[in-house]
Structure formats: C-alpha cells, structure tokens
Amino acid sequence: MTDWTPYTARAKEWFESLRDRICAEFEAIEREAGSDATFTFTPWRREEEGNPDPGGGVQGLMKGKVFEKVGVNVSTVKGNFSKEFAGQINGASAEQPGFTATGISLVAHMANPHVPAVHMNTRFLTTQAAWFGGGADLNPPLPYAEDTEEFHARFRAACAAHNPTYYERFKKWADDYFFIPHRGVHRGVGGIFYDHLECTDEAAFERNFAFTRDVGDAFIDVFPRLVRRRMGSEFSPEEKQVQLEWRGRYAEFNLVYDRGTLFGLKTGGNIDAILMSLPPEAVWS
C-alpha cells in the first residue's frame, strides 16, 4: 500500500499557497474600494480521543466593503471515522476507518447584489483509497449572462487542458449536486464539481494534482475580474431584498444537503470554520 504522507504534505502546501494568493487578491480589491479590511487568521486544532496528532487548520475571515463576508479555510486532519460514517466514504469501512484529508474551502458573500457570491474548494483525501475532489460554482442573486459565460469558459479551458470529457462531466455533476430539491431550483448558475479522481499510483497523483492546481488557478483568474466588473454598480432596496432571499436558499442547501458540511461535522472539525459558508444576513419571505 502506498504511503501517501508526502503526497498529502505536497497538497497541503499547495492549498496554503493558493489561500495566500486569494487572500492577497481579495484584500487588494478592498483597497481599490477604499477599504482597509484584512483577513483575520485563526488557527484551530482538532480533537479525537486516543489520537495524539489529529491535525487542524486555519480559518481565514474578512468582512469588508466589497466582501461582506468571505471565508478562506485550509485544514489538514487525520484520524478515524465513526463506524456509522465510515461506510459512506470512498475506501473506508467500519473495519478500516482511518483517513487523512487536506483541502481549501472558500465562500464569499458580497455586499453588492450585482456581484455574484461564489464557492470554491479543492481537497485530497486518503483512506484505503486516495483521491482528489473539488470545484467551483457561481451564485449570483442577480445573474448576468456575460458573467456566467466567462466563469464557465475559464473552467472549460482548465478542464480541456487535461481531459476532453472533464468539462461536460463535471458541469453536469455541479448542476445535479448544487440543486435544492425541496425548492426545485438550482443554488446558482453552476460551475464544475468533481470527486473521487483516484490516485492509484504516483503517476495518477501527479495527473490529478495538476488538474486540481489548474482549478485553483482558474478560480483566482476569473472571479476577481467579475468582482471588479460589478462592485461599483448602483443597486436598489428591492435588489438587496432579492439578494437576502437568495441567501436564505443558499443557507438551506448548505445546512441540509452539502456533503462538505456533513464531513466537517462528522469528523470533529471546527464549527466556526465549517459554518463560515453561511451568509452574514438572510431573510425568508
């Protein structure tokens, strides 16, 4: 069986470097808007009985003029799933519940309803299997076709550089996943979502790691452009109300259906970091 420890370390280093680049870019946008907002970084340590090295992470949070609330978290944890939860995870079982996981997770809720909210995460997990997953999806309260196309085009290009089937497969996966069944609506205008890109050997790890890095690069390339395009737009009280109602739908999805939320809660993650995806303000009409 492959010792994935050095590979996990490489992935962790990349996720941390991506976080640093994203946070610097978001702080630069705040400066352009005349704000001095910066990220606050709060380390946390996971606890697991009988585990001397359960890992932990760093929660990054900023509340500014453009980014009403944005969280950029990196965590690296290891331990054992509960027997009940292990059976739901690729490569784990009640008899072999051990895991490691490292990843970056980002959610941005914007002050201006014309600026789309966004979600992005990439991760590397090992059980008896090893795989990458992640993606990004755009969540505008007031959609613009131009923004939607530009977002998708950037991820289409990232996918095409690795596999001609990736974009259509992963776009459909996002469309199917980011859907609110009890409302009968999608959470946003989609993006890509992928999981279980298996690393059966070193070569497979390198291929999937390269793709995952390109997903992160695509995000930091396209999303700040959309923010700068819309952040100076005038908006009405009615448009703000649309945003607040849309945020209620976003919260419903993350609390009822999101697998990442469930994973964090089931593995003893930091509650504040897990729930950083929730909007700072929302309404239910």
Q: Which residues are catalytic?
A: 119
Q: Residue 132's closest CA among 45, 35, 199, 188?
A: 199
Rounded to 5 degrees, φ, ψ at 266 are -80, -15
- Integer Cα distance of 217 and 210 in angstroms: 11
- Integer Cα distance of 120 and 139 in angstroms: 11
Cα Rg of the chain, angstroms: 19
CA angle 285–192–188, rounded 5-degree value: 15
Q: Which segments of the chain does DSSP mark as H helices, in order?
A: 5-32, 83-86, 145-160, 166-177, 202-230, 237-256, 259-266, 271-274
- Integer Cα distance of 193 and 100 in angstroms: 21
